[in-house]
Amino acid sequence: MIQTEKAHLPVTAQTHEGMRGKNNEDRFAVASFQMGPSYGGLPVMLAVVSDGVGGHRAGEVASEMAVNMVSNSVGQSDGSTPLKTLEHAIWQASNQIVALGQTNADFEGMGATIACVMVVGHRLYTATVGDSRIYLLRNGLARQISIDHTWIQEALDAGLIDPGEVAGHPNSHVIRRYLGSPRPPEVDFRMRLENNESDAHALTNQGMQLKAGDRLVICTDGLSDLVSAPEIFETFNKKPLESAAATLVDLANSRGGHDNITIVALDVPNSASRLEHLLTPRNISLVLIGLLIAIALIAAIAVGWLIFGWFAPQLTASGTSILQPVIINRTTALPAGTQTTPQATFTLDPGRSFDVLSQPTVSPGPVYRTYREGQATLTPWPTNTLSPTSTATLLSSQTTETVQTQP
C-alpha cells in the first residue's frame, strides 16, 4: 500500500502512565495508507494499541515491538486481505518477542496484549489478543465488540461465576492469550455486535460498513478497569474527539489510576453518510442511464450533422445554398498562459466504493512521526526505536477474506 500523510477519518490518541509511578508499558500506533489502483485507491487506516504484560520484565519493549511490527507488516501488504494480513503481522510480532527473549536474558518472559482496528474505506476489520479492548459507539451506547482473553471472561462464558463476582476477583487480571507466548497465540477475529451472539455469527461481522456518527475506541485495561462503557459513551457524546479522550484519562486517574492508560479514538463523520446514500447502486444506475441517453443524443446530433452538413450538397437537386459547418483551425496558437494539458475531471465509476471520494493526500515523507507522551493530535504517530530481528517460520494462515469495495 501507499503510505499517506493524512488519515481519511478523524482520529486522536492519549496515553498516560497512571498515578502509581509505574513505567508506561503501553504503546500505540496510528497509520494511514492508500490501496493501489487495482483496488480502487481505497484509503486505509490502521490503529493499534498494545499493553506490556504486567509482572514481566521489559513489557514496554514487547508492546513497542508489537505496534511497530504490526504497523510495518500491514503497510507492506496490498491491503486486500485485512484479516489474513493482521493475523500474519501479529504472529510475526509474537515470534520476534519470543526470539528476543531467548537471546537476551533481560527480555526473557516479556509479553504484550494487542488490539487492532483496520478501516478499509469505511469497512471495519478487527483483531485482538489479550484484554485490550475495542468499543463501538453507536445507537446510544458503547458496546465492547472485542472479547477479553482472561480467566474471568472464560469463567463467565462457562457459567462458573456471576457478573457480580467479577469486581475484586483475585483472577481479574489473569490473561489467557498474549504476544510472546511459546506458541503463536490464536488471534481473535470475533466482532460481537449483539448480546449472546454466537462465535460463528460474530466472525461474519468482519468487514461491516461503518455508519455516519459511529465512533471506535481502542484502549488498554488501565481505562476499562476504572471507567464503564456508559461513561465512555456519554463522554464522547458530549465532547469533541480529542477532549473526550483526555477527559476519560483524567477520570481513570481520579479513581486511582492504578495502571497505564491509553486511548485511541476515531470518528466517522456525517459527510460519509451523505456520500454513501448518494452513491447507492440505484442512484449509480440512474446516473449511468442518464449518461447513456446523453451520449445517444450527442451521437444522433453528430450523425445528423454529418449527413446534412457534409452530404447535403450531393442530396440537394436545386441551387439552394447550404449552411456549411464551421471549420476549426487546429493549428492556431493558443493565447499566452493558456493551459495546454487537459485537466482531469471526476468520472463516476460504478466499480468503486464511495470511499474513493475521500482519498488522503499522498506524501513522500515517512509514514511514522514521533509521538510524545501526554500529547494528543489528530494524526498521532508512534516513535519507532527497535529494529526487527529474524523470526521463526510462521504457521500458515487459516483465515482468508477479501476486501469488499462496494458499499
Q: HEC string of the chain?
A: CEEECCCCCCEEEEEECCCCCCCCCEEEEEEEEECCHHHCCCEEEEEEEEEECCCCCCHHHHHHHHHHHHHHHHHHCCCCCHHHHHHHHHHHHHHHHHHHHHHCHHHCCCCEEEEEEEEECCEEEEEEECCCEEEEEECCEEEECCCCCEHHHHHHHCCCCCHHHCCCCCCCCCECCCECCCCCCCCECCCCCCCCCCHHHHHHCCCEECCCCCEEEEECHHHHCCCCHHHHHHHHHHCCHHHHHHHHHHHHHHCCCCCCEEEEEEECCHHHHHHHHHCCHHHHHHHHHHHHHHHHHHHHHHHHHHHHHHCHHHHCCCCCCCCCCCCCCCCCCCCCCCCCCCCCCCCCCCCCCHHHHHCCCECCCCCCCCCCCCCCCCCCCCCCCCCCCCCCCCCCCCCCCCCCCCC
Would you state the pLDDT for residue 236? 97
Nine-digit cell at 216? 471506535
For domain 2-269, give the CATH superfamily: PPM-type phosphatase domain (3.60.40.10)
pLDDT of residue 168: 80
Residue 319 has a pLDDT of: 35
Average pLDDT over residues 77-98: 97
pLDDT band at 75 (very low <50, low <70, confident <90, very high): very high
* 272, pLDDT greater than 80: no
pLDDT digits 0-9 by tens, 346-376: 233 333 333 332 333 333 333 332 333 333 3
pLDDT over 50 at 4, yes or no: yes
Tell me the domain boundaries of the chain. Answer: 2-269, 281-315
pLDDT (0 to 100) of residue 207: 98
> Does the structure show a pLDDT above 80 at 312?
no
Residue range 4-23: average pLDDT?
94
With 90 as the cut, is the pLDDT of residue 30 above it? yes
**Residue 252 reports pLDDT greater than 70:** yes
> Is the per-residue pLDDT at 9 higher than 80?
yes
pLDDT tens-digit readout, 115-174: 999 999 999 999 999 999 999 999 999 999 999 999 999 998 888 998 888 888 888 889
pLDDT of residue 197: 94
**Average pLDDT of the chain?**
77
Q: pLDDT-derived band of residue 234, with 50, 70 and 90 as boundaries?
A: very high
**14 or 53, which is more confident?**
14
pLDDT band at 111 (very low <50, low <70, confident <90, very high): very high
220 has a pLDDT exceeding 70: yes
